[in-house]
Structure 1
């Protein structure tokens, strides 16, 4: 594939002229794979994403390998990573021990991951919401003291497979407490993909009323019901300029079986190209990267744009 065709560009009013994509494929994408990718493959994946123009790539997670064995090679990967100027390589850390490991490896660009619901907090972090927040406070304080940057993820913002619908005020309450710790950005997670546009607009509005504006938010949509692009477009219309996506639509959540893949980076890029919204990321290069990764995984890419542009059932 030498060059992807692009959609005809027709802008919509009220949308940003440029956004940032947080590429989560190497971490959120691969953590849910049954097979464990060799570290050399992961490094090549990251190298290709950087070459495609990505400037924000979440590379791994410093959690105990018992919980996420697919990322047990985190320290080896970070040690071998050829960091390029102008590219951020945040890592997910669960606690202060994880942060100290990251800092020893020269990384202070981190992410913490909380839950808006009690059940998922206990399944994902083995502690409740209050205990989780208490665990995050020293992590954020340490990173800020070191001049680092902290991204906060908040899972189950739109629905929980065990608790059902999640009240907006419940989500806002946890979100505000995470941001009050000193986090730079909050990524709103539709972990099981049940959000719809009205719900997205309402939550962003409620957060703004509580003092957390769109300039401090990102969105992280899973495409379980095919709503990720619609939800993203709604979020952009509400002032959001950071969108999480995963090359080839890789991903899920090992602790929420109903969570399917993330919004595919290629599908997002196609829509943004048609809207005239700049990302700095090359669609052709990402498609080729995802096709390559699909071959490593031995299955087709779920991304519709990858399939359309390659004309290849193998992704």
Structure 2
């Protein structure tokens, strides 16, 4: 039986929130519809944060309400605090995400609080989510390097990941936020995590600043990780990391997985259609190596 690898498409949230062009709700809805048509089953559609701070994510709750209803597709929203959670709950969202970092400096720059303070904000979210039977996914940024602190000790990452899991996150995504990692360091990180946590609650989130995302995912596969975040056309980036490019492209991840014999549920032709459309909408070339070759 072919082994399945879960792809969590984060383009509509992590991708678009760092793009220069702000899309309308209608354009974002079209993007998500294209992703659904391509066979993606796990899609982070937006973020319930202040439009003042992240204008690209304005009206994410309205967007969620207008999504096509599919019982087999998990749509989620990022909710940094209880107010965001309540906005997600009000539109019927059944999965939310919370985020922190393994670096104190990055956490303060990104969400203006310490790691401990970020967890204090999660407490009310976790309590409310449990009462409403809403699943919570956790994100940890800077799992290898921090733009302010440099190398991050794997033990520090494990500590934060365990804390999220113990609070109630069913899955924790480890974000290689600035794209500086290499496979040897990724292997060391996963070994530290797997010494204390089961692989089925761990996900990899790799950025491609130095072109290392795919080889780091390959290393992660070798360590038994079977969940990865990606962004169509390689959308996104990190505003706090110098030169940081977008997430690993969903197209490139699909190419790796399909040629290694893994099942993804993705329709290639429809994926490439979605890739072309979002690149045209954003008026920018795709960052996907596979898409460039496919469309040449």
Offset at 1:253?
2.2
- 1:237 match: 222
Cα drift, residue 183 of structure 1: 0.6
Q: Which residue of 1 aligns with 2:88?
A: 102
1:253 aligns with 2:242: no
Distance 1:38 1:57 in 2: 18
Question: Are 1:248 and 1:287, in contact at CA under 8 Å, matched by a contact in 2?
Answer: no
Task: State the partner residue of 1:114.
Answer: 100
Using the alignment, how far apart are the partners of 1:78 and 1:264 within structure 2? 23
1:162-187 per-residue CA deviation (whole Å, 9 max, x = no partner) reads 11111111111111111110110000
| Equivalence for 1:296 | 281
Aligned to 1:131: 117
TM-score, normalization by structure 1:
0.91
Partner of 1:151: helix, strand, or coil?
A: strand
- SS of the equivalent of 1:53 reads coil
The alpha carbon displacement at 1:141 in A equals: 2.0
Q: Provide the secondary structure at the position in 1 that maps to 2:128.
A: helix
Note if 1:26 corresponds to 2:44. Answer: no
Report what 1:151 is aligned to.
137
Q: Which has the higher strand share?
A: 2
**What displacement does 1:148 show?**
1.2
Mapping for residues 202-221 of structure 1, pairs under 5 Å:
202-210=188-196, 212-221=197-206
CA distance in 2, matches of 1:108, 1:234: 32
Give the conservation status (yes or no) of the 8 Å contact 2:147–2:240: no
SS of 2:137's partner is strand
Q: Distance in 2 between matches of 1:180 and 1:84?
A: 30
Asked if the contact 1:161/1:258 (under 8 Å) is kept, the reply is: no
How far apart in 2 are the matches of 1:197 and 1:213? Answer: 20
Query: Normalising by the residue count of structure 2, what TM-score does the alignment of the two structures yield?
Result: 0.97
Q: CA deviation at 1:81?
A: 1.5
1:194 matched to 2:194? The reply is: no
Q: Does residue 286 of the first structure (1) align with residue 271 of the second (2)?
A: yes
Partner of 2:58: 72
1:275 CA displacement: 0.8
Q: Deviations over 1:191-220 (max 9, x none)?
A: 00011112112111111222x121110000
SS of aligned partner of 2:75: coil
Q: Give 5+ residue unaligned stretches, structure 1.
A: 1-15
How many corresponding residue pairs?
295
For residues 90 and 100 of structure 1, do their structure 2 counterparts lie closer, same or farther at Cα, with a shift above 3 Å needed?
same
Greater Cα offset, 88-97 or 255-264: 255-264
Cα deviation per residue 1:56-76 (whole Å; 9 max; x = unaligned)?
Answer: 000000011122111012122
Equivalent position SS for 2:229 = strand
How far 1:269 sits from its partner (Å)? 0.7
Cα distance in 1 for partners of 2:217, 2:151 equals 20
The secondary structure found in structure 1 opposite 2:280 is helix
Equivalent residues of 1:22, 1:56 under 8 A apart: yes
Where in structure 1 do 4 or more consecutive aligned residues deviate above 6 Å?
none
C-alpha distance in 2 between matches for 1:83 and 1:45: 15
Do 2:48 and 2:78's aligned partners in 1 also have CA atoms closer than 8 Å?
Answer: yes
Tell me the distance in 2 between the aligned counterparts of 1:108 and 1:122: 29
